[in-house]
Structure 1
Amino acid sequence: MLFDYATYKVIWWCFVGVLLIGFALTDGFDFGVGMSLPFLGKNDAERRVIINTIGPTWEGNQTWFIAAGGCLFAAWPLVYAAAFSGFYIALMLCLFALFFRPVGFDYRSKIADPRWRNAWDWGLFTGGFVPPLIFGVAFGNLLQGVPFAYDDTMRMSYSGDFLGLLNPFGLLAGVLSVAMLAMHGATFLHQKTEGDIARRARSLAIWAAALTMLLFSAAGVWIATGIDGYRIDTMPDVNSSFMPVAKTVLQARGAWLDNYTRYPLTQAFPVAAIAGAALVMLLSARRHTVSAFLASGLSVASIVLTAGAAMFPFIMPSSLAPGSSLTAWDAVASHKSLGVMFWVVVVMLPIIVIYTSWVYRVVRGKVTLEHIRDNEHTAY
């Protein structure tokens, strides 16, 4: 093997983080555009313009989602099993909401009936709004701990329910997720459209960026002062796997800030998250559309990195039995599996990045009302 087992565990933490950031940056603005569709498009032609800004690329963007889910299953099988058991209803709601996207894109404009098209517009809104909300609520609950535990035979029990996920901090995290992707989608629309649509997208970007800053700051204060974080008291053997109970974990107020003290460079993440959102407001107001979109991406990526830096090495903390918490050290696949998958990622990730970059180069430029009129039967 190229690296020892402990090094592969850290590498795979980073790999999954990169894939989640890639998902948030690419599919994230798709979600943002979808959730803004019924509000930024005031008539059928304008809504078709909005849909066609993401129509050619949304399926490719979901590659990041599929890759992240596949890596979660392959690299952290215990996390995959625990998450899909504990969050089953929430994930099914997310899946059903996502069903509206492919059908909505493909069939929305095939019948020239206002009722038909309006119904699919709200379907696309659902497909853009519900997944970010659920993902945010899930992250909010991870930071509080999930009520599961392992017994001596490594059988897992889960004592929570769906309504328990809808706690105040979980909902705050969910709304933050929606706000930041609404910001990201609005900055994308601002630079891909013109006229009234661009003007409305600009206003949405500014307001969503302000809300993102407010909610992110509130979540940070809440985590520091009102939520017990987790820290490992007795480290497990870093060369072991599938033994989450072989460690001691303590809960303490402010423990999620430990890594920011231990690794001062990580403090740049929350600063960049706030700075990125502030730049979105400034650059959007001055109509620097591409720069505003890049600033939005900086803010979104930094928010994900802020959560990841705070939680490391925890992946899925347990509120029921803290010692059962799943971490990067003990919830991973075997040394050989991580080594083989390492090369798969090293080969495939650059291909995905290069192909995605090429696609966006091909479809660059603005989508206009004239484009829709000239391509009445081929545009979405």
Structure 2
Amino acid sequence: MFDYETLKLLWWLLIGVLLIGFVITDGFDMGVGALLPVIGKTDDERRIMINSIAPHWEGNQVWLVLAAGAIFAAWPAVYATAFSGFYVAMMLTLFALFFRPVGFDYRSKLADPRWRKSWDWGIFAGSTVPPIVFGVAFGNLLQGVPFVLDDFLRAQYLGSFFGLLNPFALLVGVFSLLLFVMQGATWLQMKTEEELHARARRVIFVVAPLATALFALAGIWLYYAIDGYVITQIGDLSGPSNPLLKTAELQQGAWFLNYEKYPIMMLAPALGLLLPLLAVVATKFNRAGFAFLFSSLTQAAVLMTFALSIFPFVMPSSIDPSMSFTVWDAASSEMTLNIMTMAAVVFLPIILLYTSWGYFKMFGRLGKEYMAKYKNSAY
């Protein structure tokens, strides 16, 4: 179908698309969950918030599963190294995610306020911890991951869980949470009425400018205090995937070299800074749809900024830069990538179509009339 070099680049793009799909869709339902005990003042308001995402949240998590599966199949060495090195963080994320389906299903089983409040906090934890962990992971990728490869390309992780919790990574983790909360607040603007709608708008006025500030701070920190990686020698890009066949080194400001080479790429970080402020403007004029659009585009712009900055690296090694995984030397075989591409061509449009249909059928606001009509709903 395609030559090997093109396939490697194509799957870098497709994994990026899957991650963008995740942060936009699962981003708003996790954002709503994070806001559940914060702006939901009564049980009815919290039920409205949950019912606003109830038809979608399970389908939204498909994007995360697809992204993880694509990384496993397209970049197996990256998957193995990440899931072993970040094992404790991954398990923390999974256990946090367990609270979401259980909380959604069980909170309405009893009318006891203490029962429902407990599950609300469980949903809050399940919606807050994963965005922070994802941000911490991306923050560590920009600094390099402490692993080495032996002669058989077996990775050995030499770090620790607490080593992941460094200041820059925690900054990115907080920034990631703010993005998800912004996405959830703009979603609630479209789906709610009256007091709940007003509180969701107030969240945007605080969270969106703060997200812009932290994004700018992370960029400055990255440029002046964190060395990037550059490839100094590499073989045939269509050759076998072997990270030990290249050489690489650390260099100050290296994560910004792609922008110097291709200035058009500056559009991604510029939009990452501007779009949250446009979401504030849209919220100010009570244009909920535009606020959600600007917030969604922010998620895409931020992920694109990360991808363009780090390219062609996928997982740099802080122990030996030459052992880092890149797009060119971490990929599966040509046949595997071809089979995956054919599957993506068939199934990705189907997923997009039925997802879009589901959102179309569930379009509309939820308010007091909804609660009166569905007072005995599952949530």
Equivalent position amino acid for 2:138 in 1: F
Q: Does residue 24 of structure 2 align to residue 48 of structure 1?
A: no
- CA shift digits 1:210-246 (9 cap, x unpaired): 1110100000101111100001100132123341111
Measure the CA separation in 1 of the matches of 2:343 and 2:257: 33
Measure the CA separation in 1 of the matches of 2:105 and 2:375: 14
Equivalent positions of 1:1-380 (< 5 A) are 2-380=1-379
Q: Is the 1:284–1:292 contact (alpha carbons within 8 Å) kept by the matching residues of 2?
A: yes
Measure the CA separation in 1 of the matches of 2:245 and 2:212: 39
Which secondary structure does the structure 2 equivalent of 1:136 belong to?
helix
Q: Is the 2:105–2:378 contact (alpha carbons within 8 Å) kept by the matching residues of 1?
A: no
Equivalent position amino acid for 1:248 in 2: T
Q: Is the 2:241–2:328 contact (alpha carbons within 8 Å) kept by the matching residues of 1?
A: no
CA positional deviation for 1:369: 2.5
Measure the CA separation in 2 of the matches of 1:363 and 1:340: 35
Q: Is the 1:372–1:379 contact (alpha carbons within 8 Å) kept by the matching residues of 2?
A: no
Equivalent position amino acid for 1:221 in 2: I
Structure 2 length-normalised TM: 0.99
Q: CA RMSD in A?
A: 0.9
Measure the CA separation in 2 of the matches of 1:105 and 1:357: 23
Measure the CA separation in 2 of the matches of 1:80 and 1:323: 18
In structure 2, runs of 5+ residues without a counterpart are none
Equivalent position amino acid for 1:310 in 2: S
Q: Is the 1:238–1:329 contact (alpha carbons within 8 Å) kept by the matching residues of 2?
A: yes
Which secondary structure does the structure 1 equivalent of 2:153 belong to?
coil
Measure the CA separation in 1 of the matches of 2:328 and 2:181: 35
Measure the CA separation in 2 of the matches of 1:325 and 1:44: 50
CA positional deviation for 1:374: 1.9
Which secondary structure does the structure 2 equivalent of 1:245 belong to?
helix
Measure the CA separation in 2 of the matches of 1:178 and 1:204: 13
Q: Is the 2:135–2:174 contact (alpha carbons within 8 Å) kept by the matching residues of 1?
A: yes
Measure the CA separation in 1 of the matches of 2:228 and 2:202: 37
Measure the CA separation in 1 of the matches of 2:82 and 2:355: 29
Measure the CA separation in 1 of the matches of 2:20 and 2:323: 27
- CA shift digits 1:88-116 (9 cap, x unpaired): 00000000000011111111111101111
CA positional deviation for 1:266: 0.9
Measure the CA separation in 2 of the matches of 1:90 and 1:128: 15
Which secondary structure does the structure 1 equivalent of 2:232 belong to?
strand
Q: 1:110 to 1:230 in 2, by over 3 A?
A: same
Equivalent position amino acid for 1:179 in 2: L
- CA shift digits 1:280-321 (9 cap, x unpaired): 111111111000100101111100100000011111000011
Which secondary structure does the structure 1 equivalent of 2:62 belong to?
helix
Runs of 4+ in 1 over 3 A off after TM superposition: none
Measure the CA separation in 2 of the matches of 1:204 and 1:309: 30
State the identity %: 51
| Greater alpha carbon shift after TM alignment, 258-267 vs 237-246 | 237-246
CA positional deviation for 1:376: 1.9
Measure the CA separation in 2 of the matches of 1:35 and 1:255: 35
- CA shift digits 1:246-294 (9 cap, x unpaired): 1101101100001111121111001111111010111111111000100
Which secondary structure does the structure 1 equivalent of 2:228 belong to?
strand
In structure 1, runs of 5+ residues without a counterpart are none
Equivalent position amino acid for 1:250 in 2: E
CA positional deviation for 1:156: 1.6
Equivalent position amino acid for 1:92 in 2: M
Structure 1 length-normalised TM: 0.98
Q: Is the 1:183–1:296 contact (alpha carbons within 8 Å) kept by the matching residues of 2?
A: yes
Equivalent position amino acid for 1:162 in 2: F
Equivalent position amino acid for 2:261 in 1: R
- CA shift digits 1:51-87 (9 cap, x unpaired): 1110111001111111101101000000000000110
